[in-house]
Chains A and B, each alone.
Chain A
Amino acid sequence: MNEMSRNERESSEERKLELRLGPPGVEDWFHTHNKQRISFGNYFSSSNNGFQHVRGNKESSSSQTCCPKRVELQNGDNNKVTAVSNTSQKRTAPGPVVGWPPIRSFRKNLATSSSSKPSPPESQTQQDMHNNVSAGKKPIDNNYGKGLFVKINMDGVPIGRKVDLNAYHSYDNLSSAVDDLFRGLLKAQRDSSACGGNNKKEEEEKVITGLLDGSGEYTLVYEDNEGDRMLVGDVPWHMFVSTVKRLRVLKSTELSAFTRESWNLIVV
């Protein structure tokens, strides 16, 4: 391998990356199947640039000049990579990346969550310890308590989400969080079904409003611990939080069978 000239080595690398389907080590399988070659043609035309890029990188990989570029990339990419994650967790990092760092959800918020019992006067150490932990850092996120995650599904959006109700404290906050969470997804659903994938100018995202009073296109309902479906907003917030099991964002027209009054009757 060492005896090969640089050119020979590079073209053999290129050959290694030549597109073919076959068991490893079968060199010429590709050339006997011309039909496939035609369909691979598209990939080849875009691949040459890729190869040049690769070679260039290998030359400069040991230099330090590539690194500042990477730092810029990092800042840029972080924003690109931001997915529609739970808006319930306030982050202090530039933009939350879904699933990063790779820890399980039950390991999050350990430092800020406290036990349900109030700390007794004798044991100041526990409280002091929490203060020490948080000293000299950015403000603690408002996710105290264990986190109350409930599933939320929206009509027209195939995949549900989870929200942490402990982060909201009021129906208005919850309502705007639902808007945040689903507005983009709803638009994506509409675009893909309406335009058939063309890249023509898309409509603006529609703000999701009127979730709580029946005035909007969608209404927020929930299922409580007895399995009943209820309109969100009727009971005091803390009572809602203690009985809610899951949330749904329904098209308001789906509720036409029940008037608001009859919902109340069912509830009572």
Chain B
Amino acid sequence: MQQQQKVAALSYSFPEEVLEHVFSFIDSTKDRGSISLVCKSWYEIERWCRRRVFVGNCYAITPAMVIKRFPKVRSITLKGKPHFADFNLVPEGWGGYVCPWIKAMAVAFPCLEEIKLKRMVISDDCLDLIAKSFKNFKVLVLISCEGFTTDGLASIAANCRNLRELDLRESEVEDICGHWLSHFPDSYTSLVSLNISCLANEVNFPALERLVSRCPNMHTLRLNRAAPLDKLANLLRGAPQLVELGTGAYTSEMRPEVFTNLAAAFSGCKQMKGLSGFWDVLPSYLPAVYPVCSRLTSLNLSYATIQSPDLIKLVGQCQSLQRLWVLDYIEDAGLDMLAASCKDLRELRVFPSDPFGLEANVALTEQGLVSVSEGCPKLHSVLYFCRQMTNAALNTIARNRPNMTRFRLCIIEPRTPDYLTLQSLDSGFGAIVEHCKDLQRLSLSGLLTDRVFEHIGTYAKKLEMLSVAFAGDSDLGLHHVLSGCDNLRKLEIRDCPFGDKALLANAAKLETMRSLWMSSCSVSYGACKLLGQKLPRLNVEVIDERGPPNLRPDSNPVEKLYIYRTISGPRLDMPGYVWTMEDDSAYLE
């Protein structure tokens, strides 16, 4: 009793304004959540001063609920489709429509400044609504989104006087007209970041040049492939303060003045830290970027179809590199050089140049990754596509880099064993999870039995996201993961022999996760129904292009299954091939 009185006294002694001021230093969503759980008055104070909201699954909650709890939001981040939508596993029209959110926020959050969306569908009407509803709108980020055209962008350009950031990374935009850029009025000078790399057609280049040169705070500019190289020098001269640049196609008729202009322009960019773009590279033009190489911390060459010697020459100059994305043309020799020269490297992504070929077209093996793991002490994030792997290599990588937090390995041919021993790669991945105690994200590939899942369930206690394909023998595998991985939030599985047993035995676990995706597995319709009935705080969505699942026996496996926790009940915008399993509490008319 005395203790409670003390606490009560403390909280009364702090005026709300003081608490609010203290809370204003705390930005992370997780910490804000913790604050709100301390006591009722802190919950109240916190919710009125929460400015940034992150909704990891747009169907987990309704716009009205967010608005009710956080009336003064300035920035919202929403994610829609499941990750496997990136690889065409989610049919068109599945959902992820942002319109209801925009409509609700247009009324409730007139001071909204930032909208960040990932894998959502946004229409031109929606963009228009954004442009006209939020007077102080500053940041629009659309990552892997679709459903809009350049007309929608024109509306944003014309109306958002205070726009700072327009980022269309990897979105699918119907490119009707490149003149949308001209809709930025001449008086508009606040642009800081522009990413139009996904646009198919040329934008109006003179308009772009004028825009860039009149915005003194331009920091990031990512052009699209259609942007001609011979105009880049002029553009750069108008914005020498650029920190991040994405070129267009890096090729041109070989004219000496184009090269010298370009080299001179790059020499003037004293703040440049990041480069990307580089489609269709003409190697003889690469030396033009040498003046900025020593300062580069981020280099994305994942579209650059140049060979290892040219890559080595370029990357060898970038000793400050922290992040490198590159095609497997870099080969083991290039990765050896990377390990020797770039001691500050933190993130490496190696993409396949010929993903559908049967045989290796490049000399890139597990050895390259081993070298980098040895030579780069800060390396903690890896995405690596290759065609062969050994347990020994994985073991070495694990022991070299216990600080690994993201490890995604894709051995291109499914179910490929250790090529030296012909055994499964269970022990190799086991070493990864055992030694890398802070591992947050893991993607598996190669020949894998239930044992690898036993290792994961035993050791991967900090794991938040796991991607599995063509692996495992039985439900025991899935059971190990669901019962062992305490921090698991997202699990995505395709083409594995997992059925009903592990899911039903660990049903309650699903409410502690954001989502579970299973496709081409063996989960029966009956099990889906059961899960949907008994767990009302889950949406169990069956995706099946063969037609209504209740026309087939209950024991029939469903094609695809997407389960996610939600407090807003089944969604109402599903297409004809998605069925949400009803819960017992639903009132059936």
Contact = CB atoms under 8 A, between A and B. Distances in A.
Interface of A: 13, 16-24, 36, 39-40, 42-43, 47, 50, 53-54, 57-58, 61, 64, 67, 70, 73-74, 77-78, 81, 85, 89, 91-93, 96-108, 110-111, 114-115, 117, 120, 122-123, 125-126, 129-130, 132-133, 137-138, 141, 146, 151, 158-160, 185, 188-189, 192-193, 196-197, 225, 245
A24 B509 contact: yes
Given A67-B422, A67-B423, A120-B253, A126 B88 contact: no
Contact of B251 (A24, A53, A78, A115): A115
A117 B248 CA distance: 13
Contacts of B552: 192, 197
Given A133-B305, A137-B361, A192 B483 contact: no
Given A101-B412, A120-B254, A160-B93, A17 B351 contact: no
A57 B449 contact: yes
Contacts of A188: 545-547
B354 to A, nearest CB: 6
Contacts of B469: 100, 102
14 contacts: A50-B499, A54-B473, A58-B450, A70-B447, A101-B385, A102-B443, A103-B385, A107-B302, A108-B356, A110-B353, A122-B253, A129-B305, A138-B357, A158-B577
Contact of A137 (B283, B359, B548): B359
A158 B176 CA distance: 27
Interface of B: 84, 86-89, 91-93, 170, 174, 176, 198, 200, 225, 249, 251-254, 279-280, 282-284, 302-303, 305-307, 327, 351-359, 361, 385, 410, 412, 414-415, 417, 422-424, 426, 443, 447, 449-451, 467, 469-470, 473-476, 479, 483, 494-495, 499-502, 504-509, 520, 526-527, 530, 534-535, 545-548, 551-553, 555, 575-577
* The 9 nearest A-B residue pairs measured at CB: A192-B547, A99-B87, A197-B551, A115-B280, A158-B576, A159-B91, A122-B254, A197-B552, A99-B89
Given A21-B507, A39-B530, A92-B357, A16 B89 contact: no
Contacts of A106: 170, 198
A96 B500 CA distance: 28
Given A21-B534, A54-B475, 8 more contacts: A20-B504, A21-B508, A24-B483, A42-B526, A100-B469, A103-B352, A115-B280, A159-B91
Nearest to B284: A125
Contact of A151 (B84, B92, B474, B476): B92
A196 B551 contact: yes
B311 to A, nearest CB: 12
B505 A17 contact: yes
Contacts of B280: 114-115
Contact of A99 (B84, B352, B354, B553): B84
B475 A102 contact: no
Contacts of B475: 17, 50, 54
Nearest to B85: A99
A111 to B, nearest CB: 5
Given A21-B507, A102-B410, A67 B355 contact: no
B553 to A, nearest CB: 7
Contacts of A19: 501, 504-505
B354 A104 contact: no
Contact of A125 (B252, B253, B283): B283
A110 B504 contact: no
A198 B443 CA distance: 39
A74 B352 contact: no
A189 B537 CA distance: 32
A183 B540 CA distance: 30
Contacts of A104: 86-87, 170
Contacts of A192: 546-548, 551-552
A55 B502 CA distance: 16
